[in-house]
Every structure is written in structure tokens, then in C-alpha cells.
């Protein structure tokens, strides 16, 4: 998978390591990689071998069991909430030092991040070179400061959807809360006004219509996870079901 980032607005974020009490070498590496990209000091890289390849993990750009599509299929719970931007809020809390609720204006005033990555749906289709713009997950974590005991992140949406990821999956250099796709506001069909993008996982882990982000110590399976879908959702190992 090919991914590229560029600086859109000069970030005012101190690069500190780590968020955890005990330095995690993998987290430090991912955070430093994100910081270099925010500072436009790192060129596009080939993603399949990053993070390090595990035994049995595909390194092909198109993951096993997937087929490429030029379109962008629409999958959701059958509910597409219409959220006026003046009413939109993103609540970030749980085990953090500084809980925060963003209005639309406040959220878009944060340093902006642009990401080009591939998108893999568990229903076996993939779309290459998706260009997303929004706020990097690292930026949000720097603001709220997760506590050392955090191990998971739970996303909740305006349509009632929930999904869970491990903290290390969210704290990666290409994870973001996106507000634009291909240079335009994300439509309701695709989860606008804001949705989560975690390119290294199957797309159901990227909550559409995101409303809240909670940092937690204990895992709490989300909507699809309690219905038999995988907790970890790695496309490179066809990790579709639990």
C-alpha cells in the first residue's frame, strides 16, 4: 500500500514520546514517523512492510481475498443521520487527562493532515489511493493525553454504531478523523461530516458519522464485533471473523 502525507497547516504540537508510562519502541517509531510527515520531511513510502511483516502476513498491496474496485460502494446500517454542522460535536473522553468536546469550527481549526492510502472492506473489495483530509489521531491524543492504563479505543457514531480498536492501531501515522475525501467534504453516504480512517485495518473499524472517542483500559466489542467479526481486523491475514 502506498501512503503519502503533506503539511497543510504548520502544526503547533510538541513531539513528545511516549503517551504510555513505559516507552513502547513500536509506538515511538510510529509517532516519530508521523511527526516527520507532519513536518513534510518524509517522502511517500511503501506501506505493506510497515509495520514489520509477521509470519503469514501478506506483503502484496492488494490483500488476500480482496478485489480492486474503481467505484466506492456504500455500506452502513441503513441509517444516514443528517447532522447540521452547527450541531455537530466530537466528544473525546474516558481515561484521559483532559476530556474535550469539539465543535465543528474548533475541530477544523486544529492542524490539518492529508493522507493517501488504500481502503479495504471486509466484504472483499478494495479501493486504492484514497485521499483523506482531517485531523490526525496523534493530534487528538496529544490534546487529551490518554492515561498509562489505556489499551483500547471505542468509537461511537451518530447512527448508533460502535467499534473498538487496540490503542496501537489508532496511534499510527496514517490514522485520522477525516472530514474530506478527494478534496471535497465527505458525503453522508460515506459517513460525513466526519469519519474515522484506520487504513491498516478493515474499513468497518473506521466509524462513519463519528460522535465520540473513548480511551479505555478494558476491551469493549462494538456493533459488528459482538456479531462475530474480528477484534483485530488485519486485511493482510484475512482476519475477518473472531
Report, as an integer, the average pLDDT of 76-80.
Answer: 75
Q: How many domains does the chain have?
A: 1
Residue 242 lies in a domain: no
pLDDT cut 90: percent of the chain above it: 69
- Mean per-residue pLDDT over the chain, rounded: 84
Residue with cell 485521499: 131
SS3 176: strand
Write down the pTM of the prediction. Answer: 0.78
Q: 80 or 145: which carries more pLDDT confidence?
A: 145
pLDDT at 191 over 70: yes
pLDDT, position 184: 97
Q: Phi/psi at 83 (nearest 5 deg)?
A: -115, 115
Residue 35 banded pLDDT, cuts 50, 70, 90: low
Residue 58 lies in a domain: no
pLDDT, position 78: 73
DSSP state of 241: B
pLDDT tens, residue by residue, 36-74 = 766 665 544 434 434 444 446 678 899 999 999 988 877
Residue 17 banded pLDDT, cuts 50, 70, 90: very low
Residue 13 lies in a domain: yes
CATH of the domain at 98: 3.90.420.10
pLDDT, position 2: 45
Return the closest-CA partner of residue 239 out of 43, 57, 36.
57
- Residue 225 sits at the vertex; the CA angle it makes with 104 and 210, to the nearest 5 degrees, is 5
Q: Which of 8-17, 36-45, 74-83, 190-199 has the highest mean pLDDT?
A: 190-199
pLDDT at 75 over 90: no
Residue 182 lies in a domain: yes
| Residues 6 or more apart in contact with residue 4 via CB below 8 angstroms | 43, 44, 45, 115, 116
Which structural domain, as residue segments, surrounds residue 175? 2-52+63-70+78-237
135 and 107 in contact (C-beta within 8 Å)? Answer: yes
pLDDT, position 42: 52
Q: 11 or 62: which carries more pLDDT confidence?
A: 62
Amino acid at each position: 500500500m502506498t501512503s503519502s502525507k503533506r503539511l497543510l497547516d504548520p502544526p503547533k504540537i510538541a513531539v513528545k514520546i511516549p503517551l504510555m508510562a513505559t516507552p513502547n519502541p513500536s509506538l515511538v517509531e510510529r509517532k516519530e514517523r508521523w511527526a516527520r510527515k507532519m513536518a513534510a520531511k518524509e517522502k511517500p513510502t511503501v506501506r505493506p512492510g510497515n509495520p514489520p511483516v509477521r509470519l503469514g502476513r501478506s506483503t502484496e498491496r492488494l490483500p488476500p481475498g480482496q478485489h480492486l474496485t474503481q467505484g466506492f460502494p456504500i455500506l452502513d446500517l441503513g441509517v444516514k443521520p443528517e447532522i447540521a454542522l452547527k450541531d455537530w460535536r466530537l466528544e473525546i473522553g474516558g481515561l484521559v487527562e483532559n476530556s474535550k468536546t469539539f465543535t465543528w469550527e474548533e475541530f477544523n481549526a486544529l492542524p490539518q493532515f492529508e493522507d493517501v492510502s488504500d481502503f479495504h472492506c471486509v466484504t472483499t473489495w478494495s479501493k486504492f489511493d484514497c485521499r483523506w483530509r482531517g485531523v490526525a489521531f496523534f493530534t487528538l491524543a496529544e490534546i487529551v493525553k490518554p492515561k498509562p492504563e489505556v489499551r483500547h479505543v471505542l468509537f461511537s457514531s451518530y447512527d448508533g454504531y460502535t467499534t473498538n480498536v487496540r490503542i496501537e492501531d489508532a496511534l499510527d501515522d496514517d490514522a485520522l478523523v477525516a472530514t474530506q475525501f478527494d478534496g471535497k467534504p465527505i458525503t453522508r453516504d460515506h459517513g460525513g461530516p466526519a469519519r474515522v480512517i484506520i487504513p491498516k485495518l478493515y474499513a468497518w473499524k473506521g466509524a462513519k458519522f463519528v460522535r465520540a472517542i473513548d480511551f479505555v483500559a478494558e476491551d469493549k466489542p462494538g456493533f459488528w464485533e459482538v456479531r462475530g467479526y474480528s477484534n483485530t481486523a488485519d486485511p493482510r491475514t484475512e482476519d475477518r471473523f473472531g
